Chain A
Amino acid sequence: MSDLTLQNKSALIIGVHDKLSRIIARSIIKENAHVTLIGSDKSLLAEEYPEITEPHLINFNITDCKNIEKNLKSHLNDNLKYDGVVFCHTQSDFKPLSFVKYDNLSSIVNDNYFSFVEFIRVLTKMKKINNNGSIVALSSISSIRAMKAKMAFCSSKAALDAAIRCLAVEFANKKIRVNSIQKGEVDVDFEKGHIQDVSAIREEGVSNACLGASSATEIANTVIFLLSDATHTLTGQSIVIDGGYTL
C-alpha cells in the first residue's frame, strides 16, 4: 500500500525521551518524514538524537502549560508546518486513594492531558497543522479499565481520550484527524527503572493478555498508520493494542 509511507510529510513529535517514544520517533524518521522533536531534557536530546539540530530539535519543559505558547512561538521556525503531530509524553504513578491529594492528582492530569490540549490549541492557533493532517496521542487501556492504585493515571488518560473525540469533531472542517492509541503492556516498559517498573503488576498485566506484551515497533507502526494517507476517515478513535487484556 503506497498510502502507508510518510514520504514528503512533516511530523512534530512531543515528548521523546522514554524508550517507546524514541522508537516511535526513529520509526517515523525511517519512513522518510521530516521531523521536529520537542523534549524537556537538553542533554538527553543531544545524546539521543545527535544528527538532528535546531530548529528541528527543540528543548523546553513540555509540561509547563503556562509557557507552552511562548515557547512554541520562540522555537518553531516560521516556515515550518506539520502534517502530523504525535504526543508521546506520559507520566504515571502508583498511589492508593488516601495518598492521592490534589497536588499529586493535578500533576499527573497536567502532564497527560492539559499539556496535550494546550499544545494542540497553540499549534492550531499558529496555523502550524496542515489541512488533511493527523494528530495522534499515546493513551492507555488504563483509560477504560480499573487499574490498582492508578486512579490518577486512569483519569488523566480518560480525559485525554474524551478530548480527542471532541477535537476530532472540532477539527473536522479542516479534515484534521485526531486519534489515540490505548496500549497495554509494551516490552520496552519492562526495561526502564522508572516508577512504572513494578514487576508483580507488570507480570499480571502480561499474563492477563492472551497474546502477551506488545512490541514497541507495533505501537510505532500504528502511529505511522494513523499519520499516513491510509486513514483519511479514521478519526475520534482510541485504538486498543493490548494483547487482548481488555477482552
Chain B
Amino acid sequence: MRPLLNFNNKNIIVAGVGGIGQATVLELASMGANIIMIDANEQALNETIFKLGQGKHSTHICDFSKVDTIEPLIKNIVKESGAIDAFVYCVGIGAVRPLKLSKYEFMRTVMDINFFSFIEMIRCISLKGNYNPKETNIVGISAIGAFLGNSTKTAYCASKGAMNAAVRCLAKELAPKNIRINTVAPGVTDTPMARASEDYGSESEEYKSILQRQYLGICSPNDITNAVVFLLSNMSNKITGSCLSVDGGKLSS
C-alpha cells in the first residue's frame, strides 16, 4: 500500500450509503479504514455492512431531515469509536420539481437533508476531542448543478451552491485545527438517485443529449469515489476549500 493513500485504522464517517456512498465505504474499507456508516435506511446499512465482511465497522441510523438529532449522534459515535479522522457526506435528495410546486416546506426539507445536516455534522465533528487534531479531512458530495442552471432543480442546485460556499468558508476557519475540507461535484453518475430522475437507457434522446456535453460518458460511482479518496489522502495536502468536478467534461463544454 502506497503511504500516500494509507487509511489503515483511520476512523472514517460516511454519511449516506446510496450509490456513491456505498462505493466510498467499500473502497475506504479495502484500504484498511474503520468505517462508521450513517443512513436513514436500515436495509441499505445492512446491505453495505454485509458486503464489508471483516473489520471494525459500525452502522448508525439517522434521519437527515431532522437536524437536531445530529449532535447526540456524533457524541455517541465518538464515545463508541474514538476521535474521527475523516468524514464524507454522501447524503442527498435529488428533488426534481418545477417552481410552482416548490413550496416553502419542500424547499426547506431539501435544504435540511442536503445542506443544514452537512453543516451541523461538521460543527459537531470539529468540536474539541471529536476530531484528530493532527489531521482531519472532510469531503462533501456536491453537484455540477451548483454551477449550472437547470429547470425544475432550483431546490437541489441551491442546496449544492450553499454547500460549496460553506466549504470555502469552513476551509479557512478550520485550517488552524488542521482540518481540510473540499467538495466533489459529480456530473451525471450511474446511481439509484440518477436512475430515478434521468432516463438514460442507452438509446434514449436524453442519454444522447447528456453525452453531448458530458462527452467522456456517464460517471460510475467509482469515478466519484476515486476523487473522494484523493481528497482524503496525503496526496492532496495543500488542497482545501475547493470543488473538484468529476463531470466527463461537462462544465468546460
| A positions within 8 Å CB-CB of B | 65-66, 68, 96-98, 100-102, 105-106, 109, 113-114, 117-118, 120-121, 124-125, 142-151, 154-163, 165-170, 236
Contacts and interface: CB of A to CB of B under 8 A. Distances in A.
Given A105-B116, A163-B158, A165-B157, A121 B151 contact: no
Nearest to A110: B108
B203 to A, nearest CB: 26
B175 to A, nearest CB: 10
B159 A159 contact: yes
Instruction: List 10 tightest A-B contacts by C-beta distance, closest first.
Output: A162-B161, A158-B165, A165-B149, A151-B169, A159-B158, A155-B162, A146-B168, A159-B162, A158-B161, A169-B149
B208 to A, nearest CB: 20
Nearest to A118: B104
| Majority SS at the chain B contact face | helix
B186 interface: no
A113 B147 CA distance: 17
Contacts of A166: 145, 149-151, 153-154, 157-158
Nearest to B119: A105
B160 interface: yes
Nearest to B123: A97
B127 A170 contact: no
B122 to A, nearest CB: 7
A161 B161 contact: yes
Q: Is the interface of A mostly helix, strand, loop or mixed?
A: helix
B92 interface: no
A100 B119 contact: yes
A141 to B, nearest CB: 11
Interface stretch (B29-37, B95-103, B218-226): B95-103
B123 A100 contact: yes
A111 to B, nearest CB: 13
10 contacts: A98-B123, A102-B116, A114-B111, A117-B99, A146-B172, A155-B165, A158-B161, A158-B162, A159-B158, A236-B149
A117 B154 contact: yes
A36 B199 CA distance: 44
Given A101-B120, A146-B241, 8 more contacts: A98-B127, A121-B99, A146-B171, A151-B165, A156-B162, A159-B162, A168-B149, A236-B149
Contacts of A169: 149-151
A168 to B, nearest CB: 5
A159 B68 CA distance: 22
Interface of B: 67-68, 98-100, 102-104, 107-108, 111, 115-116, 119-120, 122-123, 126-127, 145-154, 157-166, 168-174, 241
B151 A155 contact: no
Contact of B168 (A106, A113, A154): A154
A170 B171 contact: no
B160 A162 contact: yes
B104 A114 contact: yes
Contacts of B98: 170
Most buried by A among B126, B127, B166: B166
Given A65-B104, A158-B165, A106 B116 contact: yes
Contacts of B102: 117, 121
Contact of B99 (A113, A120, A160): A120
Contacts of B169: 146-147, 150-151, 154-155
Nearest to A168: B149
Contacts of A114: 104, 107-108, 111
Contact of B165 (A106, A121, A124, A157): A157
Nearest to B145: A162
A65 B168 CA distance: 28
B89 to A, nearest CB: 14
